[in-house]
Chain A
Amino acid sequence: MLEINNLRASLEEEGKEILKGLTLTVEAGKVHAIMGPNGSGKSTLSYVLAGRDGYEVTDGSATLLGQDILGMEPEERAAAGLFLAFQYPVEIPGVGNMTFLRTAVNAQRKARGEPEMDAATFLKEVRARARDLKIDAEMLKRPVNMGFSGGEKKRNEILQMAMLEPKICILDETDSGLDVDALKLVSDGVNAMRSPDRAFLVITHYQRLLDHIVPDVVHIMVDGRIIKTGGPELALEVEKNGYADLIGEAA
């Protein structure tokens, strides 16, 4: 599904290298988790994959279903099936949540040469999915993320993900700022989307999220590289001993 090979990327302005030859393969139907200490480059990886300005890829490749995504515009990556759930979802005053969602859904369909979703179907789909995430009609009407609590913003990310039905979902510290109840709602939303033709890349600091979204594979990322890969037990090991031992082991 997603293949990242020897990816190197730097901050454009400072020229500082953040990703230093990262290699990772996420298979269809699987949930991969990336854990790592602060500053290891986890969020940078998500931004580089989503196509945010400000990063320069200096080497390596990233393909989604065999397509090179690094040369694509962010909207093309989205249409190709990549979705990034932001760590800090952006507030956009004056753009209604529904307008935004509908514009996004139909823009992707158009890009893929599919017919647009009509208003009635769209409304039905949004309502059903919003209900599962306990997002009420009032929230749907408001401008994008405006006045939303931290938990509401994250649930809104999952709603977008559910509506856009991506192939690869990258969750960037989706657990940050969530209380226990919200964490459960968000995790249930993610788990409901698990399917044989979809993959997840879950970026997190803590084991906590992985109790709810149980990964198939856990990677430990340090200083711009994957230094260790294992099963769910690796996350437990980190939780118990911290990253220090693993970093020592790899060195």
Chain B
Amino acid sequence: MGLPQAKLTATEARLAALAMPEAPGWTRLGRLGARARLEAMGLPGRRDEYWRFTNPADLVTPAPVPAAVFEPSENPVFHAMDRLRLVFVDGVFDAAASDDPALAGVEITRLAEAQALDIHWAAELYGTLEARGQEPVERPMAALNTAFATDGVLIRATGRAEKPVNLIYLHKSDTSDAILHHVIRIEPGADLTVLENGPAAARFNKVMEVDIADGGAFHHVRVQGRDHERRAVTHVFARLGQESTFKSFTMTANGALTRNECVIELTGDEGVAHVAGACLGDGSDFHHDDTIFITHDAERCESRQVFKKVLKNGATGVFQGKILVQPGAQKTDGYQISQSLLLDEDSQFLAKPELEIYADDVACSHGSTSGAIDERALFYLRSRGVPRAEAVDLMVLSFIAEAVEEIESDVIRDEIVERLAQWLARHRR
């Protein structure tokens, strides 16, 4: 089975610009396996069904499209929170800028250091969840990541972490091309929150593999963009055990190109997986894609996908979301909603919601809408004295609310709402 010539050429060109670490240690097998997968699949192209709405061209070129370094004047998100900071600059861990990675109930090591060892707890996970996520849909950008990741963190939570771990991605070079791979293991009954923020690099490829044991809980809140020109492709691969919880929320505010994939397997009964996103796009160079795949392979599990996009001035939003219910996954409760608020006629939203169900006693619902702002509500607000621009912002926040409410922590939720409001105020027109 050969690849089409164009795909082969592109893949070879990209591979030529990449190298595995000299001493990959325990990651060696995982990396070699991923490289073999990548060579068999080839890098994504515009003609691939899974990339129909998002052109991957800028993600697969040997060198990244340069992106100007941009330092917002306000404090970064989460800055006022008590959290453990781990800082990466253009994809390289910066120990001096980071906190001491000592946190009760949590083991944190850096991938670039830990891989010098021959054995590690993460060895059985590195590339494993990614490989599982390659069926039934190929995700070559994730295989590339596993094979060539230059750094990342390995986090093992054995208890209830007393504060969140905050991965901060700084961007300092116009032409940086970062590949980070994180592995997170939540032991039975453990509970961890991971926060992520920052543009990371001109081009950013990130994989996070999350393995949640029975009764474990993982919370994830990510803030991407903030008007940065960066291009990013990210994957979260999560496997959930019995009665475990996975909750992930992403806020994206501009950024030239973003493709966020989230692949979740519910493998134990009564697992709960929620994935949500709020995306704000302003301008025709904005393209944002959420691609979600949730597999129910156990009984009485619950999954929710809640995605809201606010688009203006020619911005594009994409949603591809799937719920797959395997035979025997009875009493599955699946919910999926993807909605866009188009603030003008130049913006577009492309959605492909899917349900595939092989069990007969399940409750699954999905919906997808695209709409303009409600003029009646707008007039109502204005008639009470709220100026048009502020009224539109209120309506936008109201539209996004369902996604933001997926964040469990009040403190983090308030912080996110505040950031959304600030961004809207800056982008009034």
The reply to whether B386 and A93 contact each other, CB–CB distance below 8 Å, is no
CA distance A108 to B376 in the complex (A): 20
B352 touches A (CB below 8 Å): no
Residue from B374, B385, B401, B402 in contact with A78 in the complex, judged by beta carbons closer than 8 Å = B385
The reply to whether A107 and B402 contact each other, CB–CB distance below 8 Å, is no
The reply to whether B384 and A164 contact each other, CB–CB distance below 8 Å, is yes
The reply to whether A111 and B385 contact each other, CB–CB distance below 8 Å, is yes
Residue from A86, A95, A108 in contact with B398 in the complex, judged by beta carbons closer than 8 Å = A95
Q: Could you jot down 25 A-B contacts, CB within 8 Å? A: A53-B375, A73-B387, A74-B382, A75-B382, A75-B385, A83-B383, A84-B383, A92-B380, A92-B394, A92-B395, A93-B398, A93-B401, A94-B397, A94-B400, A95-B395, A100-B381, A100-B384, A103-B394, A104-B384, A104-B385, A105-B385, A108-B384, A143-B398, A160-B384, A164-B385
Once A74-B379, A89-B380, A100-B394 are accepted as A-B contacts, the answer to whether A94 and B402 lie under 8 Å apart by CB is yes
Write the chain A residue with the least CB distance to B391. Answer: A75
A-to-B contact residues, CB < 8 Å: 50-53, 73-75, 77-79, 83-84, 86, 89-95, 99-100, 103-105, 107-108, 111, 143, 160, 164
B39 touches A (CB below 8 Å): no
Residue from A78, A86, A99, A160 in contact with B382 in the complex, judged by beta carbons closer than 8 Å = A78
Once A92-B395, A95-B397, A100-B384 are accepted as A-B contacts, the answer to whether A107 and B390 lie under 8 Å apart by CB is yes
Say how far B375's CB is from chain A's closest CB, in angstroms.
7
CB contact list, B211-245 vs A, under 8 A:
none
Which of A53, A78, A91, A108: most chain B Cβ within 10 A? A78
B388 touches A (CB below 8 Å): yes
Taking CB atoms, residues of chain B closer than 8 Å to A143 are 398
- Cβ proximity bits B346-383 to A, threshold 8 Å, 1 near / 0 not: 00000000000000000000000000001111011111
The reply to whether B385 and A73 contact each other, CB–CB distance below 8 Å, is no
CA distance A143 to B377 in the complex (A): 12
Say how far A242's CB is from chain B's closest CB, in angstroms.
33
The reply to whether A79 and B385 contact each other, CB–CB distance below 8 Å, is yes
Taking CB atoms, residues of chain B closer than 8 Å to A108 are 384-385
Taking CB atoms, residues of chain A closer than 8 Å to B385 are 75, 78-79, 104-105, 107-108, 111, 164
B51 touches A (CB below 8 Å): no
CA distance A91 to B375 in the complex (A): 12
Residue from B376, B382, B390, B395 in contact with A73 in the complex, judged by beta carbons closer than 8 Å = B382
The reply to whether B376 and A90 contact each other, CB–CB distance below 8 Å, is yes
Contact residues of B: prevailing secondary structure: helix
The reply to whether B380 and A86 contact each other, CB–CB distance below 8 Å, is yes
CA distance A4 to B281 in the complex (A): 45
Taking CB atoms, residues of chain A closer than 8 Å to B400 are 94
CA distance A75 to B401 in the complex (A): 25
Say how far B309's CB is from chain A's closest CB, in angstroms.
15
B399 touches A (CB below 8 Å): yes
The reply to whether A75 and B398 contact each other, CB–CB distance below 8 Å, is no
Write the chain A residue with the least CB distance to B382. Answer: A74
Taking CB atoms, residues of chain B closer than 8 Å to A50 are 383
Taking CB atoms, residues of chain A closer than 8 Å to B377 are 90-92
CA distance A100 to B378 in the complex (A): 12
Taking CB atoms, residues of chain B closer than 8 Å to A53 are 375, 379
CA distance A83 to B376 in the complex (A): 16
Taking CB atoms, residues of chain A closer than 8 Å to B387 are 73, 75, 107, 111
CA distance A93 to B386 in the complex (A): 17
The reply to whether A107 and B386 contact each other, CB–CB distance below 8 Å, is yes
The reply to whether A90 and B398 contact each other, CB–CB distance below 8 Å, is no
Taking CB atoms, residues of chain B closer than 8 Å to A75 are 382-383, 385-388, 391
Say how far B421's CB is from chain A's closest CB, in angstroms.
11
Taking CB atoms, residues of chain B closer than 8 Å to A86 are 380, 383
CA distance A104 to B379 in the complex (A): 13
The reply to whether A92 and B381 contact each other, CB–CB distance below 8 Å, is yes
| Top 9 A-B residue pairs of the complex, sorted by shortest distance between their CB atoms | A94-B398, A78-B385, A94-B401, A108-B385, A104-B384, A74-B382, A90-B380, A95-B398, A75-B382
CA distance A94 to B384 in the complex (A): 17
Taking CB atoms, residues of chain B closer than 8 Å to A90 are 374, 376-377, 379-380
Taking CB atoms, residues of chain B closer than 8 Å to A89 are 380
Which of A75, A83, A84: most chain B Cβ within 10 A? A75
